[in-house]
Amino acid sequence: MSLRTTRGVRAVSLLAATAAVGSLTLASPAQALIGDVAAGNTYTFTAKIQIGAGDTSRACTGTLINNQWMLTAASCFADDPAQSETVTAGAPRFKSVATIGRTDLTTAAGQVREITELVPREDRDLVLARLATPVSGPSFLHPAATAPAAGEVLKGAGYGRTDDTWVPDSLHTGDFTVGAVETTTVGIDGTPVCKGDTGAPVFREKDGRPELVAIASRSWQGGCLGSDETRTGAVASRVDDLRAWITESTASTLNVWNLQMLTKTSTGLYHSMRNSNGDWTSFGNVQNAAGTIEDIQFAADAAIKGKNYVFAVGGNGHLYQANRRVTGGWAAFRDLTAELGDKPGLTRIAVTSTGTGLALIGLADGRVYHATQDASEVWSKWGDVTAKLGVLGNATQVTVAHTSGGQTQVGVAADGKAYHGIRESDGTWSDRWRAVSALETKLTSAVNGMSFAGVAGDLQIVLTSVTGEKKHAIRKADGTWSGFGDLGDELGRDTIVGVDATAVDGELQAAVVTTDGKIKHTVRHADGKWDATEVVVGYPGTPETVALTGSTK
């Protein structure tokens, strides 16, 4: 790409840049980035920032780090960027607008937001920029936890000038090689950084996803249109050491909910939380906190307000329950056999909050069972759902969700198809299992995964097939179904071994475990828009199952 800067950089400033970059290489104008045009919807975390109007107008590039905050260069908002990088905290002096997720500026893709607040970092050319309202759809770029290393190859993306275009209408990308790594800055060289690229992300690809290493600051203008300069080196502000500052500075926009994730991997059972700004906590070892279960076969969880209830099926076929308290402490696993009754052959479970209690579904020897926990945490005995709704051959999956009105929605995958039954608030059941509407015409191969989530009065469903198809539909409160939509763009085309979904603050959160050992996550917002797929990382071992639940603090 040609990372391009927003301002004309004076020679005295570039003397400092030279010192930081180290040995700057020469580049002929033909090398200018001017890089490659970003393909399709890649790097939608990148924003075009327009600051001011008329003679005071300037352009920069920014990086979306969560749904309401960007990182960019503080100098973009300075009164005279060539003289000073200092900017005052609070509202920007000039009206500033960010266009996010629009890699082709000639289209209407992405979203446009005014920047209403700046939080500068005093020790480097860096500022957090708050958007007037949250965005949905574009991906986030989370800060790296590892410092850049000399000789490392990084990537960049920016909207700045190229070798032949004064104001490009497309996002461009390019590669950099790391030079000198200082306490607050890193020298980069390779693709030219031109006017308009200041504030652009400098990132690495790690574990299948990009992570933010630095933000472009000052540069030579070699290869940029209108410049006779041949040097292409640049200085970027490090962000790998600023995770705590970023979290603290953006905390005021966090909503009061978390998404909780539970994954069984090849090495154990692990738990993490994601807040509404898209930040994940480190995965904690559940068995270290709540006790060891021999040979865990399957796990699920549900939350009531801030308390998370975790369930695990052991190798002995027994079901165990542990609780994660609002304060973060854990109550130890206990065997529920005495409370629920023995169910030999138990292999799968699903659980959902009913508001004050829990509804639990189990699959044992091909039959479906149901139990409830009341507000006092007292369990009913297992009840035989199959006896009420009928036998389904070769059942492999179960799922459950609670919808407003007190209905418990139960799903079963059997003989490669998806079935649905309802338990009313008075404890009565629908007359029989019903095939999920229009499924046979929407999936071309057998169902191997399904998950329900209750979003207000609606039931949302995610289905996957043995060939990697992923579909989404909504059963409305009146019992009618929407058509099935393809989730290939949201969750990928990989075949999967696990899927789960949950409702959080009126939105659908969905995750899958792929056969190549990745967990992919996305969000469907109330307006029907989906966020870009996120590859979740940080769990030990290879994931085998995933479970999601939403909780309030």
pLDDT tens-digit map of 418-453: 999 999 999 999 999 999 876 655 788 999 999 999
Query: Using CA atoms, how far apart are residues 522 and 518, in angstroms rounded to an integer?
Result: 13
**Contacts for 453 with CB less than 8 Å, ≥ 6 apart:** 401, 459, 460, 461, 462, 501, 502, 503, 508, 509, 510
**Contacts for 518 with CB less than 8 Å, ≥ 6 apart:** 208, 494, 535, 536, 543
Predicted pLDDT of residue 33: 37
Predicted pLDDT of residue 264: 97
Predicted pLDDT of residue 446: 92
Predicted pLDDT of residue 548: 97
Number of helices and strands in the chain (H, E): 6, 37
**Contacts for 231 with CB less than 8 Å, ≥ 6 apart:** 24, 25, 26, 27, 220, 222
Type of residue at 514: T
**Contacts for 172 with CB less than 8 Å, ≥ 6 apart:** 1, 2, 33, 34, 35, 36, 37, 38, 157, 158, 159, 160, 162
**Contacts for 188 with CB less than 8 Å, ≥ 6 apart:** 21, 154, 156, 176, 177, 178, 179, 202, 214, 216, 233, 234, 235, 236
Predicted pLDDT of residue 460: 96
Predicted pLDDT of residue 202: 96
Predicted pLDDT of residue 48: 95
Predicted pLDDT of residue 448: 93
Decide: 222 and 30 in contact? Cβ < 8 Å: no
Helix (H) / strand (E) element for 178: namely strand 172-181
Q: Which residues does the chain have with pLDDT short of 50?
A: 1-34
Tokens of 87: 């900017």
CB count in 10 Å sphere of residue 351: 23
Predicted pLDDT of residue 164: 65
Residues forming a β-bridge with 508: 503, 524
Predicted pLDDT of residue 51: 94
Q: Are strands 36-37 and 417-423 parallel, antiparallel or unpaired?
A: unpaired
